[in-house]
């Protein structure tokens, strides 16, 4: 493909991504994969170059742009070589017209930027939210240890904070690594590894992972517990939860049970666990403002109404969790969001609605105290953004 044809392909893809963001359609990565599946003439270098252009435009445009051309023009304004590809030749975008509209540059839509500022993020802390993510993995200590893995993978380095984390060059085909196929490695952002430590899970305990999804944190809990005790992994999403069993088998995690939940009838389904869990992890559904490094177009999908619906779900899940924790046991609340409305404000709500519960201080390898918990920030900590708090049930 010529440079101009690559620019045109990026514009077409951006049109699809913008439409999908407007209509709750497929994620950018899925659309990019589909686009190239039907364009066999594009080689791997072309795909990489087009992908780079698409993501440069997504990261730069704070609001959902009108169209792909307006988004790409925003990038071209700071890149003369890219601007020169708008030359009107075959397969190229039309020449840039006088006063053509550009997408608005920014971190996020204005309402969201305001809410993030009110949550204590400003300057680089704000702009780094949509920066580039690292490729982090957790060494599964049921099968291997970090020094052995680092010795076997010369291209890997230890993550700066998480004790079992390694970092690989971006773009590494993880699934082709023998250590991955042997179950010694799990792809997991360093931030996700760190907030999981807040559960302080110990061998022999009974832990509920109430929003387990496909089990990223469940597997880490089983490893922390050295495969003794029980981890009950629950979720309301059958598809996500069904991905956990094969992952657990590969990881040699034998203490995991799963339970699919009906969103209005969790307490009934979990009656055997009422007041009996040593700990309950609530990795709650959230707006994902901390994960824009991986899904920058998520900024274009979020609305105030969606945040407020998520807040209701978070409160509902927290209330279910509170019924499961034994006296003196712990509830760990995590969101991969930096909005206080989903983080520390929800803990304030919980304490008001559940008298007798207290906050336990957290000592984690990264992050800083924020409100009732600890916050990890992409800019400061080099991880995805998270809020985590540890609450103790009355005895």
Ligand X SMILES: C[S@@+](CC[C@H](N)C(=O)[O-])C[C@H]1O[C@@H](n2cnc3c(N)ncnc32)[C@H](O)[C@@H]1O
The residues annotated with a catalytic role in the active site are: 336
Quick one: which of 191, 213, 279, 329 contacts ligand X (CB under 6 A)? 213
DSSP summary character for residue 101 = -
Nearer Cβ to ligand X, position 16 or 159? 159
We find the least distance from the C-beta atom of residue 239 to ligand X, in angstroms, to be: 9
Interacting positions 65-94 with ligand X (CB under 6 A): none
Positions 153 through 212 that interact with ligand X (CB under 6 A): 210-212
Instruction: Determine contact, residues 311/342, Cβ cutoff 8 Å.
Output: yes
Q: How far apart are CA 130 and CA 108, in angstroms?
A: 9
Size of the site for ligand X (CB under 6 A): 20
Stretch that binds ligand X, among 13-21, 39-47, 66-74, 259-267 (CB under 6 A): 259-267
Position among 216, 229, 279, 373 found at the interface with ligand X (CB under 6 A): 216
Indicate the annotated binding residues for S-adenosyl-L-methionine.
235, 283
**Near ligand X in 267-296, by CB under 6 A:** 283, 285
As annotated, the binding site includes 235, 283
Cα 110 to Cα 306: distance, rounded to the nearest angstrom: 16
Q: Give the shortest CB-81-to-ligand X separation in angstroms.
A: 40
CA distance 220 to 201: 10
In this chain, which stretch among 46-54, 236-244, 368-376, 381-389 interacts with ligand X, using CB under 6 A? Answer: 236-244
Positions 119 through 138 that interact with ligand X (CB under 6 A): none
How many beta carbons lie within 10 A of that of residue 155, not counting itself?
9
| Residue 325 bridge partners (DSSP) | 277
Q: Is 318 one of the binding residues for ligand X (CB under 6 A)?
A: no
CA-nearest of 168, 163, 157 to 197 is: 163
Query: Do the bridges between strand 368-370 and strand 373-376 make them parallel or antiparallel, or are there none, so unpaired?
Result: antiparallel
Which range in 109-117, 302-310, 311-319, 376-384 contacts ligand X by CB under 6 A? 311-319
Close Cβ partners of 183 (under 8 Å, ≥ 6 residues apart): 140, 142, 143, 250, 251, 252
Candidates 102, 138, 167, 217: give the one binding ligand X (CB under 6 A).
217
Of 7 and 258, nearer to ligand X (C-beta) is 258
* Smallest gap from residue 215 Cβ to ligand X (A): 6
Interacting span for ligand X (CB under 6 A) from 29-37, 58-66, 104-112, 230-238: 230-238
**Minimum CB–partner distance for residue 288 and ligand X (Å):** 8
Sheet bearing 135-139, strands edge to edge:
157-158, 165-168, 135-139, 185-187
Cβ nearer to ligand X, comparing 31 with 211: 211
Residue 219 Cβ, how far from ligand X at the closest point, in Å?
A: 9
Smallest gap from residue 223 Cβ to ligand X (A) = 13
Judged by CB, which is closer to ligand X: 240, or 294? 240
Nearer to ligand X, 241 or 391 (CB): 241
End-to-end CA distance of the chain: 68
Instruction: Please identify which residue in 19, 237, 267, 392 interacts with ligand X, judged by CB under 6 A.
Output: 237
Q: How many CB atoms lie within 10 A of CB 264?
A: 9
Long-range CB contacts for residues 178-182, cutoff 8 Å, separation at least 24: 179/144, 179/149, 179/152, 179/153, 180/137, 181/250, 182/143
Quick check: 214 binds ligand X (CB under 6 A)?
Answer: yes
List the interface residues with ligand X, window 239-258 (CB under 6 A).
Answer: 240
Q: What is the C-alpha to C-alpha distance for residues 41 and 189, in angstroms, rounded to an integer? A: 34
| Nearest-approach distance from CB 45 to ligand X, in angstroms | 33
3 state SS of 222: helix
Total residue length of the chain:
395
Number of Cβ within a 10 Å radius of residue 20? 18
Cα–Cα distance measured from residue 144 to residue 149, given in angstroms and rounded to the nearest whole number: 7
Residues in touch with ligand X (CB under 6 A): 210-214, 216-217, 234-237, 240, 261, 263, 266, 283, 285, 313, 316-317
């Amino acid at each position: 493909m010529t440079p101009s044809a690559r620019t045109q392909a990026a514009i077409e893809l951006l049109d699809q991504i913008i439409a999908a963001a407007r209509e709750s359609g497929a994620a950018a990565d899925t659309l990019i994969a589909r686009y190239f599946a039907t364009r066999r003439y594009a080689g791997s270098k072309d795909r990489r170059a087009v992908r780079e252009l698409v993501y440069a435009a997504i990261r730069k445009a704070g609001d959902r742009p009108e169209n792909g051309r307006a988004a790409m023009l925003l990038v071209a304004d700071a890149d003369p070589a890219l601007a020169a590809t708008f030359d009107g030749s075959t397969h190229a975008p039309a020449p840039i017209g006088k006063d053509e509209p550009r997408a608005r540059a920014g971190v996020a839509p204005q309402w969201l930027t305001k809410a993030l500022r009110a949550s204590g993020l400003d300057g680089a802390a704000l702009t780094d939210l949509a920066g580039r993510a690292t490729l982090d993995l957790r060494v599964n200590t049921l099968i291997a240890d970090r020094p052995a893995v680092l010795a076997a993978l010369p291209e890997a380095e230890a993550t700066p904070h998480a004790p079992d984390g390694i970092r690989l060059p971006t773009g590494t085909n993880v699934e082709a690594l023998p250590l991955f196929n042997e179950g010694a490695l799990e792809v997991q952002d360093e931030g996700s590894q760190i907030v999981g430590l807040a559960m302080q899970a110990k061998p022999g305990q009974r832990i509920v992972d109430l929003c387990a999804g496909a089990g990223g944190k469940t597997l880490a809990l089983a490893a922390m517990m050295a495969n003794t005790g029980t981890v009950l992994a629950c979720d309301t999403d059958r598809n996500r939860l069904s991905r956990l069993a094969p992952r657990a088998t590969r990881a040699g995690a034998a203490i995991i049970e799963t339970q699919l939940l009906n969103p209005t009838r969790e307490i009934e389904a979990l009656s055997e666990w009422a007041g009996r869990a040593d700990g309950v992890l609530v990795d709650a559904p959230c707006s994902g403002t901390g994960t824009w490094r991986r899904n920058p177009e998520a900024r274009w999908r979020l609305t105030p109404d969606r945040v407020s619906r998520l807040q209701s779900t978070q409160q509902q899940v927290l209330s279910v969790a509170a019924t499961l924790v034994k006296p003196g046991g712990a509830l760990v609340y995590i969101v991969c969001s930096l909005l206080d409305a989903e983080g520390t404000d929800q803990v304030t709500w919980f304490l008001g609605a559940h008298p007798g519960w207290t906050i336990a201080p957290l000592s984690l390898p990264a992050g800083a105290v924020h409100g009732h918990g600890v916050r990890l920030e992409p800019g400061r900590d080099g991880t995805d953004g998270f809020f985590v708090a540890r609450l103790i049930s009355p005895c």
